[in-house]
Amino acid sequence: MSKIKLIDVANLAEVSKSTVSQYLNGRFDYMSEKTKERIKRAVSELNYVPNPIARSLKLDKTKTIGVIVRDITGFDTSRTIRGIDDYCKTSDYNVLIYNTDVDPEVEAKSLEALYQLRVDGIIIAPTGNNTDLINKYIANGLPIVNFQLEHDGNEKSIIISDYRKAAYEATEYLITLGHQRICFVTQDFTNVKSRMDRYLGYADALSHYGIPVDDQLVQYWHRNSGFQSSPKSILNGINPPTAFFTQHLPITTELLAMLNAANILIPDNVSLLGFDDIPMAEFFKVPITVVTQNPYEIGREATKLLLNNINNKELGRQKVMLPCSLTERLSCKKL
């Protein structure tokens, strides 16, 4: 079946293409009722659907934004996407979602694809390896809003949680329970400002309470290879920690699996406080105390900021920080 075109509607209605175009765009000022009725019947009879891409080229807007995420299956990421989508629905925008699996090459291809599709703007949780490329697209007039991680601190528009304050308050909570040997478990934070901010919040709280930072209690986890030192070996060492403070949901879940396999009980043998909530945590035998972000609100605020940038490309650098909260459960024991 051949595709129905604008000229087909015009021929059937016995009007010009420009008249049909005016009708479809709601411009009826100089159009008679008979003409409108003929076009309406022709559109219905031919089952004509306007080409959104062609219309967007004329209007210089596609009413579509792109979203690039590191892991679409992530618990917080999925809720962020929901916040983005809900806000877009109220603003008559469509959403295209790309998943990178934290692969810089996939991220670069996703940026290029969305640029070629003429999206009006992009929301991205970046890997940090394509900063120059992102800046190039921004310089070319494409609004881009970052979320989830702040890498070098020079991002033009970004929505993030107040990581430093959240880490401070979580560490302080453990200290008030009597814990002074708190193992901070993180990914490498050398070149990622958001991860560094969490470490600084942890160190600030220890300093405030006169507890020196012990480098042996700063442990690392890698997405591909796991823990640099096993949690069991850490707990079997001299002067072991009494609490783990994990900085990423996959770290928390892998730590839980390893402690369970070693028959190390929470909180009897060691306390645990994680960053980011765990799906269905209420069904755990020992529900985990966590720092909770508000990913849904992050999604909405990121979309709001992006649409503001789309409608006003002269806006300067904007950084929005949203608060976190501590959800107390049963995984942290008072000493």
Q: Which domains does the chain have, with CATH numbers?
A: 6-50 (no CATH), 59-161+295-322 (3.40.50.2300), 163-293 (3.40.50.2300)
pLDDT of amino acid 26 = 72
At residue 47, φ and ψ (nearest 5 deg) are 55, 45
Spell out the residues 6+ positions from residue 51 whose beta carbon is closer than 8 angstroms to its own: none
- pLDDT score of 35: 87
3 state SS for 122-143: EEECCCCCCHHHHHHHHHCCCC
Which amino acid does the sequence have at 194? S
Residues in the chain: 335
pLDDT on residue 60: 65
* Alpha carbons 222 and 149: distance in angstroms, whole number: 17
With a cut of 70, list the residues of the chain below it in pLDDT.
1-2, 51-60
Asked whether the beta carbons of 249 and 274 are under 8 A apart, the reply is yes
Phi, psi of 159 (to 5 degrees): -120, 120
CA-based nearest residue to 334, from 282, 268, 289: 268
Q: Any residues with CB less than 8 A from the CB of 287 and at least 6 apart, and which?
A: 281, 329, 330, 331
- Tokens 């940038």 appear where? 309
333 close to 290: Cβ distance less than 8 angstroms: no
Helix (H, G, I), strand (E, B) or coil at 229: coil
Interval 22-79: pLDDT, tens: 887 777 777 888 888 888 888 888 787 776 555 555 556 788 999 999 999 988 999 9
